[in-house]
Amino acid sequence: MATKNVLIVFAHQSATSFCAAAKDVAVEVLKGQGCNVVVSDLYAMKFKAVANQEDIVGELKNPQNFRYAEEMMLAWQDGRLSPDIVEEQKKVTEADLIILHFPMYWFSFPGVLKGWVDRVLTLGFAHTCEKRYSQGIFRDKRIMLSFTTGSCESMFSCNGVNGDMNVTLWPIQNGILHYCGFQVLGPQIFWAPPSISPEERESMLSAWRTRLQGLLSEPALTFPLLECFDPGMGFKLKPEVHEKHVDASHGLTVGQHLGKALPPNSQLRAGI
């Protein structure tokens, strides 16, 4: 088997946190399998989170009406992106597997990781109108979320106070990761580590260690193919695709639910 390159994008302020311990386990186990592992420690790097004109070297096409996405695509094409973005894009290009590793803040990424997404996964480099979703640029790469929560698992259930975790993850896993074409692995969720015993935290790390042993061959989550949607209808499901699911008990996905019950755990585990 060819050596695999793994990029871990790590977004936690403390090297002594549980989140850091889980990251260290990933580095250890993946290196033990012969992988080349690179860690982008965003806080340690003092990674700039704000997407603005400073991300572009040289003159803007339209400084009077600055449009970040368009200017970034032109700068990428011309080799005029800021050095920190160029370095992170190089890591993404070389990676076979990317792990975004973070504590969940306000049901999403910490700001520095969202900034990494905004500034690194730019128009042209990571996606275009023609190359997205199942036809996306990174369809030969795998990616996953690995994160800690402040709330226990029951609070993120379908009848929990925080709401269904599948719904929480849909905008990230479909709207960012799958949009760029990535094969999205089910997330690794560490439920409320501050609220459990040291023995339970160690058990979570042990389960993560076990999963990492087979991570490189793990099946990905499923999403509808881009071909299932009709551009002439505003990219709605083609009638023949919709018709196939009329009598189904569940919708296709969290997003394309067709007014039906959501498919259970479709954003958490493959094959559900």
Task: Report residue 228 as tokens.
Answer: 């299932």
Looking at residue 112, the DSSP 8-state letter turns out to be: H
Q: Where are the domains of the chain?
A: 5-219
Position 3 scores a pLDDT of 86
DSSP collapsed to 3 states, 208-250 = HHHHHHCHHHCCCCCCCCHHHEEHHHCCEECHHHHHHCCCCCE
114/213 Cα distance (integer angstroms): 28
pLDDT of the residue at 265 = 94
- pLDDT (tens, 9 = 90+) of the chain, 272 residues, equals 578 999 999 999 999 999 999 999 999 999 999 999 999 999 999 999 999 999 999 999 999 999 999 999 999 999 999 999 999 999 999 999 999 999 999 999 999 999 999 999 999 999 999 999 999 999 999 999 999 999 999 999 999 999 999 999 999 999 999 999 999 999 999 999 999 999 999 999 999 999 999 999 999 999 999 999 999 999 999 999 999 998 899 999 999 999 999 999 999 998 64
Task: Write down the pLDDT at residue 1.
Answer: 57
Residues 6+ apart with CB under 8 A from 112: 11, 42, 43, 47, 49
Indicate the CATH number for domain 5-219. Answer: 3.40.50.360
Please name the residues in contact with 24: beta carbons below 8 A apart, sequence gap of 6 or more: none
Is-contact 122 56, C-beta < 8 A? no
In angstroms, the CA 86 to CA 245 distance is 44
Is the four-CA dihedral 239, 256, 266, 251 of positive or negative sign?
negative
Closest CA relative to residue 107, chosen from 159, 161, 144: 161
Are the C-beta atoms of 179 and 132 separated by less than 8 Å? yes
Buried b (16+ CB within 10 A) or exposed e, 181-198: bbbbbbbbbbbbbeeeee
How far is the C-alpha of 121 from the C-alpha of 116, rounded, in Å?
Answer: 8
